[in-house]
Chains A and B, each alone.
Chain A
Amino acid sequence: MTLRQKLILLSTVSKGLMAAVLLLVLPWAVQTLVLRHTDATLRTELRQVQARIQEVGIEEFLPQGNRPRRTHYDLLQDEFIDLQAAATGARGRDTIGTFARPRQGGLVDFRVLRHHTQFRGRPYTVEIGKSIASIEEVYDLLRRLAAYALVFAVLTTLLFELGVISYLLRPFDYIVERLRAVQGPTLPELPPLHTSTSDFQYLDGSIQQMLAKLQSVFDHERQFIANTSHELLTPISILQSRFENMLRAETLPEDAELQLVTSQKTLQRMTATLRTLLLISRVENNQFARQERVLVREVLAEVAAELEDRIGEEELTVHWEMAGEPVLDPANRTLLFTLFFNLLSNAVKYNQPGGRIDLRGHGEPDGTYRLTIRNTGRPIPAEHLPQVFDRYSRFDEAAAEGYGLGLAVVRSVTQLHGIAIAVTSDAARGTEFVLRLPEPVSGAGRVGAAKAMG
């Protein structure tokens, strides 16, 4: 769940709760308010009646003879005023309550204010009433009004908050976008982040600091590799040239000649190792740009052509069963050549004479491409399988043969290209490398305009 969704959810839930509580409380509150208002009205009316009695005397209000008489002010009989002589001793405070009173032949609930008074020494009881039905109309109206206001308030604040949340969180998307743009050790110049939220400024600042540190680590390593490269390759270069010059001398004794050739060979092995180590470092230091669109089949065919003599010498057969046209994009063609060269030359080196190499591949539903390179050689023992991609892992100590650095290069190059690689090996099926090539990023890159490395 994203932060935005959570905030929206929080806001919605809190509003919902508030609305629910209000809806529960409102009827009661409105009712209380309306009743209180009614009671106040009744009291006002009582005062008016008392004033009237003082003015015109009580007779006008009293029932004539034995027939009780009521004065109704309105046609609908929603209100009444009733004055009766009371039994002596009927005194006390005013009471207000809801009582049933006859109206048009039936009993109807009224809100009634009963008041005991004395006029010229005789006690009277005054009742002023208002029908509950008429009160409830007002009450209904108020309740509906309150509900509408509530819904309106909830919806408008919710919409407003959605807008504000989106606006507030916009810098977050922006920061993520900028981070996504960081690929490899050369960091793009990031424009300053415009936000008034100090948290985001803090986050952005920390990220920038981290990136700067990362950059300096990359720079240092790059510098280190360059220096090492220079410091080690220069003396090797001197030795190699010296050996070559010495070998040209015509007066050299034969055994000295042989020793020189042997030394040269040792030096050559050292050079190859050093170059490979530097290559791995450079790949891991991201010094290789991936800017090309590479047709994998084409590179494999090139590698196979490069190895044709060895394949022929070992009388191996290569079986191609590749469906479709796998493409790596963006990619570095030179590195991919090295990758497949190492895998295929291993498949040749560790094969048995007359064996076979299978190159199979097919596209997967998720857009990736599954490529397998299998050879019919001696299997790698299961306990060595997890280490084959490590630098200098040897799978057969006795034979003193190893994958050396070749598969370490393979691992670096596959990692750089986002290719997943796995290896299985058993006596029945031989050794199989499975590569899962990622879906090409369409549009970018151009087809293999690589200037191959020397």
Chain B
Amino acid sequence: MTSKFATLALGLAVGLAGVGLGASGASAQATLNNVKQKGFLQCGANTGLAGFGVPDAQGNWTGFDVDYCRAIAAAIFGDPTKVRFTPLAAKDRFTALQSGEVDVLIRNTTVTMSRDTTLGLDFPAVNYYDGQGFMVRKKLGVASAKELNGASVCTQQGTTTELNLADYFRGNNMKYEVVAFATSDETFKAYDTGRCDAFTTDASGLYAERLRASAPDDHIVLPEIISKEPLGPGVRQGDPQWADLVRWTHNALLIAEELGVTKANVDQMLKSDNPEVKRLLGVEGSFGESIGLTKDWVVRMVKGVGNYGEIFERNVGEGSRLKIKRGLNALWNKGGLQFAAPIR
């Protein structure tokens, strides 16, 4: 029996050692070096939002936010597959970033002042301009959110959505019944089963979730947008080099679209005479080196995932199943808000 005890004690010790192995060190400083050392980028992603970040049954990730992760990986390693994804629920995402579990959080996260200032995070860019909307069943005959007085609304708890919803109904002096769930899956499931008259989340999310309805054509998205939701990647505060890298990744993807540099023609574009294109693709200047990368960082990105417009179209745009119009996310010269600072 003593020997059994010894074996038990040993088992415990080994088990604890196993626990220790599970933990991995990460430092708030010099994320870029850390990433280069690891050989891959650890990216905080959604647990599953069609078009933005969703794993299939084999664990392959696709989506708009996912392509941003791949773009960063491509810029660093020249290989868009050198990225690993951590699916994060809304309530876990900031702790995961703060604790160094992920290097960057690209998970349809709204930039707000309190998140930027009190959570120890930075939001270097806005890659998707969004706003909160409502989806209802067609047969209710509702044409505007203003007609929702007395409705039951399904929403996800622990998000800005829940707070905006309360503000909107209070501001318009309307009554409603809120049914809040922990995850977006449960929320939409309850709506689809008929528990609620309306379902609310970011407009992009509404289009994505509508695909999962038992009969997608029975639902419409109401025109009102009740909040501003600029979605963007988040990084830890206190590492300006890493924040710069993330910010300029976004800018470069926009400029590539603006200048017509696409996944298909990027090699020919290297011979372009346009000085802007030359600077973008690293033919002139050494802008890539200034953020700790190589000169051809943009070439690597565009080769890997395409420019902003291509990423948008492929995942959420008219060509995809979500069929979202560019709207606010069109380039500035096409009536949208996407306006990149120039590379010079």
Tell me whether A and B are bound partners. Answer: no
| B-binding residues in A (CB < 8 A) | none
